[in-house]
């Protein structure tokens, strides 16, 4: 159903009627894994792909659009996000197996897709259990883990252009490279079909369990974090990984306000409970500065940062002393 209309002068009064829901001043900190950040001016949860397409066709051209999933690899700045934030939720989380292929909506959790493939006896998609977030995010950044990437398994992806027209994109059109794709930023993925191979369900389930255990042993999975903070430079085998460069620069355990670099895996930033988005982003930039100074490498953010800085926010002091360098990630 469509949310109730507000008084004249608000953005919500300029938006087209929809079958989904609009919400004004929606608290985005509640839906991000970091649990920080400001509000969305308008949060829109479309009823389905048709509802989203109709919205895109009818929306005012000057309204800024931002798309989010479950908020895993995302940092929302403290000033909030102007315009309309589109959240693809359970309405886009359908998963269906047929033969050795899986069709899934962009809102489906990567881990849930991996479990569904195991139940259907489809192997080759276990790596998705190691990627936090949704299929839409994995399609946007060619998500990967444990030696495989989305580009290795995608048959096609469905997307909506900014004008609401529907497109089916073959692998070549997606332009995948290490943690990147060439699909224009304004396009919205709505789903994809993935390929696997016939396998034994119990064997596939064991592999997923191994991946989950490896994540728990090496990553702060129970902390308020956003996953890997920086891309591995180059991404090629044998090149130093981001965590190794961060450790070499002495940043393990580094703190700023309520944010710190994880002692368990130093390519993860953690909200210790009282961090602001400015603390987290400022700490990340300090890590980038120190890594550049120590190694000559400029790290690139893997975490997506959206929104505006707060006009008046909590004061954040200089980064504090880091822990000694360790032997693990």
Question: So which residues are the catalytic ones?
Answer: 179, 228, 302
> Angle between the 110-119 and 201-218 helix axes, to the nearest 10 degrees?
150
DSSP code of 232?
P
d(CA 144, CA 151): 9
Count CA atoms within 13 Å of residue 2 on its CB side: 13
Residue 150 Rama label (left phi>0; alpha psi -120 to 50; beta): alpha
**Of 143, 160, 67, 147, nearest to 109 (Cα)?**
143
- State the first-to-last Cα distance of the chain, in angstroms, to the nearest integer: 47
**Of 215, 324, 303, 316, nearest to 33 (Cα)?**
303
Give yes or no for a contact between 199 and 122, defined as CB atoms under 8 angstroms apart.
Answer: yes
**Angle of CA points 154, 156, 159, to nearest 5°:** 120
Q: State CA 293 to chain mean position distance.
A: 28
d(CA 42, CA 61): 16
């Amino acid at each position: 159903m469509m949310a109730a209309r507000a008084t004249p002068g608000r953005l919500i009064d300029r938006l087209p009627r929809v079958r989904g829901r609009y919400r004004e001043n929606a608290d985005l900190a509640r839906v991000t894994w970091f649990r920080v950040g400001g509000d969305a001016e308008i949060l829109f949860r479309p009823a389905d792909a048709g509802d989203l397409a109709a919205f895109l066709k009818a929306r005012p051209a000057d309204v800024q659009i931002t798309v989010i999933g479950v908020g895993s690899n995302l940092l929302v700045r403290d000033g909030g996000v102007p315009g309309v934030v589109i959240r693809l939720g359970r309405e886009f989380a359908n998963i269906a197996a047929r033969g050795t292929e899986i069709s899934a909506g962009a809102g489906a959790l990567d881990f849930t897709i991996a479990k569904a493939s195991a139940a259907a006896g489809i192997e080759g998609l276990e790596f998705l259990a190691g990627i936090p977030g949704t299929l839409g995010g994995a399609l946007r950044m060619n998500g990967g883990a444990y030696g495989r990437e989305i580009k290795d398994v995608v048959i096609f992806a469905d997307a909506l252009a900014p004008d609401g027209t529907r497109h089916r994109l073959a692998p070549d059109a997606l332009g995948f490279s290490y943690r990147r794709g060439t699909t224009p930023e304004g396009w919205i993925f709505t789903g994809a079909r993935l390929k696997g191979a016939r396998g034994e369900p119990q064997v596939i389930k064991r592999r997923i369990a191994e991946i989950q255990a490896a994540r728990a042993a090496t990553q702060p999975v129970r902390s308020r974090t956003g996953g890997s903070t920086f891309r591995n430079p180059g991404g090629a085998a044998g090149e130093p990984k981001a965590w190794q460069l961060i450790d070499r620069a002495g940043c393990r355990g580094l703190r700023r306000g309520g944010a710190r670099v994880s002692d368990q895996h130093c390519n993860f930033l953690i909200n210790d409970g009282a961090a602001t988005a400015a603390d987290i982003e400022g700490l990340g930039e300090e890590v980038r500065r120190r890594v550049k100074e120590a190694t000559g490498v400029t790290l690139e953010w893997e975490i997506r940062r959206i929104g505006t800085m707060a006009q008046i926010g909590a004061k954040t002091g200089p980064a504090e002393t880091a822990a000694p360098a360790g032997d693990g990630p």
